[in-house]
Amino acid sequence: MNTGFAINDCTLYVGDLHPLATDEMLISLFCEFHPPVFCQVVVDPDTNISRCYGFVGYQTPELARAAIEALNYHEVLGKPVRIMLKRDDPSDLDSGRANLFVKNFPKNFTEADLNSEFRAIGPVLSVKISRTAQGESKGYGYVQYEKVEDAERCIATMNGRKLGDQAIFIEAYKVKKDRICSSNAFKNLIVKNLRSTMNEEQLKEAFKEFGEITSVCIMRDEVGNSRGFGFVAFKEHASAQSAVIAMNGKNCQGLILSVSEALTPAKRQFIDTEQVKVSVPSNATTYKVIVENLSSDVTQDDLKEVFADCTNMISCNIGLKNGRPTGLALLKFTSFEDATNAVRMKNGALMGSDRILCALAYYHNEIPNETRSVSIKPPIFL
């Protein structure tokens, strides 16, 4: 079997553990199937705080695989655990091989539900649903197959298929460095202000002149009525860029379309958070620049120093998640000219050993007329 992974056939990786889960709780869970050789929750050696994963060993590969079938996604302290064979090469965890990004599935779907749907294609190593701090599904997650060819076949056969009443979107997972490199080369668009009677075929027809389309999806409510917006994914960035330029503000079936890059949830959340955090006089018009690909040791003072020759910067905030840098920052300027000059001057600038990526970021109701005559990187719309 060509898995592409170095796998330990007798040892299981147990992930997504509750922070308070203990060795004894793991033993109790796995003894429901068959007593293991060992169970261990991994803790930080300095703080003795759980790292929220552990390892379980069995005598034979057959028992280990059977334990996955019997216990995967069972709950420990109210949280479903993710069980898979341990990989000997830790880099495989982040390699992205045979790993898929899946979005727009029903929020009541569990990891077990997704596993059941996707295993019809081939053996699934892992399923992970992204959740809020309260444990609620965000409607997107990740599925990893044992074989790369199964992942490719899944994209070909299941992308656009309905789960429940929703058409799902599936694409190959991108590791962090590839997401950074392609962050300025967006391919996915959000299209707002659609007429309620428009369907996916009509939406595809409206955009097909710009290039090859990989998927089209109109968002609908629980009874199937259009929510007035949808997504169009192109194969090439140039096609998506052309579509934004040509279709944003265009009349379609009597309504004026709003077309822009479809932001990732992390980027949208970061910018929305910073919008609330920064206090700006109510009568001030501000223009925002998002900065990406920051190394984890970059401080606000470092950013201010790099942008010191950019005039009229109101604020500079580095994004944090669980106290750790996200690699993003949001800068605010008092004029459109100052913001665009900052993008022109600093996009691609070196900070340490990394080149930062800069782009305009603003809400649709803040879009200035000046953007129509300025030739810079396409802005990120919120």
pLDDT digits (tens, 9 = 90+) for 185-206: 678 898 999 999 999 999 999 9
Which of 182-191, 206-215, 351-360 reaches the highest mean pLDDT? 206-215
Asked if residue 375 has pLDDT above 60, the reply is no
Least confident range from 74-83, 154-163, 339-348, 355-364: namely 355-364
Q: 160 pLDDT exceeds 60?
A: yes
d(CA 146, CA 5): 8
CB contact at 8 A, 81 and 41: no
Tokens of 296: 């984890």
- The stretch 154-162 carries a mean pLDDT of 89
- Between CA 265 and CA 257 the distance in angstroms is 22
What's residue 34's pLDDT? 93
Tell me: pLDDT of 92 over 70: no
Query: 212: phi > 0 → left, psi -120 to 50 → alpha, else beta; which?
Result: beta
**Sequence spans of domains, the chain:** 1-88, 96-173, 180-261, 265-381
**pLDDT higher than 70, residue 363:** no
- CA 256/CA 254 separation, integer angstroms: 7
Mean pLDDT of the chain: 79
- Asked if the model's pLDDT at residue 66 lies above 70, the reply is yes
Q: Give residue 262's pLDDT.
A: 82
| HSE-CB for 164 with a 13 A CA cutoff | 17
pLDDT for res 89: 52
Q: What confidence score (pLDDT) does residue 266 get? A: 60
Residue 381 has pLDDT above 50, yes or no: no
pLDDT over 70 at 144, yes or no: yes
pLDDT band at 176 (very low <50, low <70, confident <90, very high): low
In this predicted structure, what is the pLDDT of residue 91? 46
- 339 has pLDDT over 80: yes
96-173 and 265-381 share one fold: yes
pLDDT score recorded for residue 268: 63
CATH class of 265-381: alpha beta
- Secondary-structure class of domain 180-261 per CATH: alpha beta
**Assessment of whether the complete model's pTM goes beyond 0.85:** no
Cα dihedral 169→170→172→177 (10° resolution): 30
How far, in Å, CA of 260 to CA of 229, rounded?
12
Q: What is the pLDDT of residues 100-134, one digit of tens each?
A: 999 989 999 999 899 999 999 998 888 888 887 67
Mean pLDDT of 147-165: 88
- What residue spans of the chain are helical by DSSP H? 23-31, 61-71, 111-118, 148-158, 176-182, 200-207, 237-247, 265-277, 300-306, 336-346
Q: Copy the structure tokens of residue 336.
A: 């459109």
Where do we find the tokens 């009229």?
Answer: 312
SS3 187: coil
Q: Using a pLDDT cut of 90, give the percent of the chain over it.
A: 24
The reported pLDDT for the residue numbered 181 is 46
pLDDT at 143: 92
What is the band of 41 on the pLDDT scale with cuts at 50, 70, 90? very high
Write the CATH number of the domain with boundaries 1-88: 3.30.70.330
More confident residue, 298 or 381: 298
Res 206: pLDDT: 93
pLDDT at 117: 92
Q: Per-residue pLDDT tens for 283-304?
A: 345 578 888 888 877 888 888 8
How much is the pLDDT for 184? 53
Question: Residue 365 pLDDT > 60, yes or no?
Answer: no
pLDDT band at 153 (very low <50, low <70, confident <90, very high): very high
Q: How far apart are CA 38 and CA 24, in angstroms?
A: 11
Question: In this structure, are strands 357-362 and 380-381 parallel, antiparallel, or unpaired?
Answer: parallel
Can you give the pLDDT at residue 211?
A: 92
List the CATH code of the domain at 96-173. 3.30.70.330
